[in-house]
Amino acid sequence: MRSYIERRSPRVGLYLRMASRYGKMLAGNSYAHRDQDLGKHFVPGRLCGYYNDLSFKTEWQGPVDHAGLPLLRSPGKKLIHHPIVLLQKALGHWDSWLGSEGQSPEHRASFLQIATWALGSQDDNGGWETWLRLGIPNALPYSAMAQGEAMSVLVRAFSATGEDAYLEGARRALAPMLLPIEKGGTSWRAPEGLILEEVPFREPKTILNGWVFALYGLYDLVIADGSQDARKALDDTLSALLARLRAYDAGFWSFYDTSRTLASPFYHRLHIAQLEALGLSFPERAGRFRELGETFRRQLASRPNVARAVTLKSYQKLRRPPAGLRP
């Protein structure tokens, strides 16, 4: 029935796909949008569990390649490896292995399989092409979020195996992250410090959660390697983040990015969990992170705020459907 409707009216078909996708999101049944609370095995200042709970990412039910690695269907219907999907699945396996107290060799093996994939697919610049094959117009190839999550995976693989190749891969991942956007990288410098872009555009609209995931990677590289380049970048981007945090407060809800796109309830909850992790990781700066996290919690506890946010978010989605859902 849906395919018939889509042939007759592509616009109606688009709305049907959006309703299906966002209905699953709101119900908590979407693989990509289940809550990512504070990591169950997260220990500040140590390469232990990951900052947010990604353990459910191990439950991939989509297509896989011959080795069992997840494949994502691009807008052109081609099956591709998407770095963020794979890297987050790896971090889920890592936490699941820690949760089993090392008694689950399957989770360890799955984690190392993806870490090895990351090494093998890292390009000559030290990056992983993330956006072009997903049909996102005008986006540059790399993602600070993917680079940071790769660092987090690779330094943990090094800690588990002692194999220097993993640490070297994490070091190489730093260069594309810190390369300025005008040179094809994922960062740009504001007066307050260094900004890291999940989806780099020539005119940035910085996504909060992607910035934080990128920052986690820098912190992990500092912990694992004592890298002075990573430490300087971490200090620079923390300064910028603290200076710009309030730009993500809509007064009744959080903004997803600096173009004032409202966060969905999933991303609003993720913002709260990330701010908690940042406060624990950087106690000398915890007050600012805790203040905004508490503001977002109060907003989430207000039914009128939730209703207003869901209504406005739905309107924004109808006006500007995601590229991957367009006919």
Residues 44-69 pLDDT 10s = 999 999 999 999 999 999 999 999 99
* pLDDT of 324 higher than 80: no
At residue 138 the predicted structure's pLDDT band, cuts being 50, 70 and 90, is confident
pLDDT at 74: 85
Question: What number is the average pLDDT over the span 126-141?
Answer: 89
Per-residue pLDDT tens over the stretch 200-251: 988 889 999 999 999 999 999 999 999 999 999 999 999 999 999 999 999 9
pLDDT at 67: 96
Per-residue pLDDT tens over the stretch 192-207: 999 999 999 888 899 9
Per-residue pLDDT tens over the stretch 13-48: 544 555 455 555 554 567 788 999 999 999 999 999
Taking the CA of residue 69 as centre, how many other CA atoms within 13 Å lie in the half-sphere pointing to its CB?
22
Token pair listed for 326:
């367009």
pLDDT at 134: 85
Contact (CB, 8 A) for 137 and 89: no
pLDDT at 264: 95
Domain segments of the chain: what residues? 31-319
Q: What is the distance, to the nearest Å, from the Cα of residue 13 to the centroid of all Cα atoms in its chain?
A: 28
The C-alpha atoms of residue 147 and residue 265 are separated, in whole angstroms, by 26
The C-alpha atoms of residue 294 and residue 195 are separated, in whole angstroms, by 24
Domain 31-319 has CATH 1.10.10: no
pLDDT at 25: 55
Per-residue pLDDT tens over the stretch 267-301: 999 999 999 999 999 999 999 999 999 999 999 99
The C-alpha atoms of residue 98 and residue 221 are separated, in whole angstroms, by 20
* pLDDT of 327 higher than 50: no
* pLDDT of 189 higher than 80: yes
Token pair listed for 16:
């049907």
pLDDT at 150: 98
